[in-house]
Structure 1
């Protein structure tokens, strides 16, 4: 029985604590791109409640870049797209707040650079 207890501890079900963390971004995290993107595509580790998600973009001079409202990507509940209006080269910082389908909130940021 003593040998069985450690095995049972390993096999016991562990509750899942799911949160929507950023899995992939286009432009990519830390990427250097030649042309300004017309939109950001953000992919998360689980489904999103997109109407309750926010994305802001700060330009190289610290001012906020004009963005559209995050939109769901049809057929991909774990993705959202965000239209952006970027004209100048430089480093851009994206700050996101996500609400997953299981109501957990997460947030984070990343940057990408548009080469001159």
Structure 2
């Protein structure tokens, strides 16, 4: 046997070399187990490692073990673009406003595009009572307001429409009341 052959044999018999090799095999097996969730079919593992002196470390055949785990959740995209969502209104939905409220406001969860931005206030009789001057706040692109004259006591509906950053048009309404 040559010196290099003896060195290979002695390395195999060396406890530190065996532990490094065993560790590498365990890491490889752990990687295979973790990747099971990435494949639609269950993975199968085979064999055991023999550490007996004088034998090369190799896999000996044993029955297949099916590796299964909990059901996987569907993969979701890393970034989800969503429609603009109303996060606050003034007066609040179902709330009470003063007769001299002056303006009605809506705030979205993100800035909206100027095109198609609208906010209108309508009385219970269907009459539009705002000044038709709805505008996006230049300091806060998620805030839209519209001016109103002095409102008579009664119920009002504020209707909004906005073009969200993802390009979708969103609209809706909320009601509030004015009391003397």
* Paired residue secondary structure (2:142): strand
Higher radius of gyration, 1 or 2? 2
CA–CA distance in structure 1, aligned partners of residues 136 and 172 of structure 2 = 19
Runs of at least 4 residues of structure 1 off by over 4 A?
6-12
Greater shift after overlay, 56-65 or 23-32?
56-65
Greater shift after overlay, 13-22 or 90-99?
13-22
**Does 1 or 2 have the higher relative contact order (CA < 8 Å, sep 6+)?**
1
RMSD: 2.6
TM-score normalised by structure 2 residue count: 0.55
1:75 counterpart = 2:131: no
Contact kept? 2:157, 2:175, Cα under 8 Å: yes
Deviation string 1:48-70 (CA, Å, 9 cap, x unpaired) is 11342112211122222133322
Partner of 1:115: 179
Going by fraction, where is strand more abundant, 1 or 2?
1
Q: How many residues align?
A: 116
CA–CA distance in structure 2, aligned partners of residues 7 and 14 of structure 1 = 20
Deviation string 1:35-85 (CA, Å, 9 cap, x unpaired) is 332111110012111342112211122222133322121321111111122
Partner of 1:85: 149
Going by fraction, where is helix more abundant, 1 or 2?
2
TM-score normalised by structure 1 residue count: 0.81
